[in-house]
Amino acid sequence: MSNEQIVQDLVAQFGENTIYGIMENYGLLNVQVQPETVVPLMHYLYQHPTFKFQFLTDLAGIHFPNAEGQELGVIYHLHSLENNVRLIIKTYVPISNPVLPTLTGLYACANWMEREAFDFYGILFSGHPNLIRILNDDAMDYHPLRKEYPLEDATREDKIDALFGR
């Protein structure tokens, strides 16, 4: 089962306009879909008689501040243990309304992964049973991995040395 077969099957099933952004990174197939396609696609891959993508390896949030209307993204890492093939599915949502459907109905492990993506990027997963912060303090009112919160510049010069005992 090769990457071409997966692409052909997915395009035949969902149509060329739904499955796009197809590329290979170091042999790892990447496809991009619209947010509303995520759940049907995941179910299809899970139940497919030969593909059997039944293992959710990881779920990563990402922020591209300059991509208008597609600022926040979620990257799903799937693994078909039987065929030993990995697949990455990407989807992007606007930062003004960052809502994605939850995968907790399909994968139990998606629970904390989605909480982590919510915690750090503010992506809201509709239908999630317990969408609260997981690693950060509950009292925080921002999502720290977004690019608008840069870390301190290593070369800044405006610190007053006396305040730091130097």
Chain residues binding another protein by CB under 8 A are 25-26, 28, 30, 54-58, 60, 62, 75, 77, 81, 84, 86, 88, 96-99, 107-109, 111-113, 116, 120, 122, 124, 126, 129-136, 138, 144-145, 150-151, 154
**Closest approach of Cβ 109 to another protein, in Å?**
3
**Closest approach of Cβ 164 to another protein, in Å?**
19
Contact 48, 130 (CB under 8 A): no
- Of 17 and 155, nearer to another protein (C-beta) is 155
- Of 150 and 165, nearer to another protein (C-beta) is 150
Rounded Cα–Cα distance for residues 146 and 63 (Å): 6
**Closest approach of Cβ 1 to another protein, in Å?**
15
**Closest approach of Cβ 138 to another protein, in Å?**
7
Of 56, 11, 52, nearest to 31 by C-alpha is 11
- Of 1 and 60, nearer to another protein (C-beta) is 60
Could you tell me the end-to-end alpha-carbon distance of the chain, in angstroms, rounded to an integer?
Answer: 63
- Of 15 and 129, nearer to another protein (C-beta) is 129
Q: Which two tokens stand for residue 48?
A: 């497919």
Angle, vertex CA 61, rays to CA 71 and CA 65, nearest 5: 25
**Closest approach of Cβ 124 to another protein, in Å?**
5
- Of 19 and 72, nearer to another protein (C-beta) is 72
Q: Which two tokens stand for residue 140?
A: 């925080």
Rg (the chain; Cα; Å) = 19
CA 109 to chain centre: 14
Rounded Cα–Cα distance for residues 55 and 120 (Å): 23
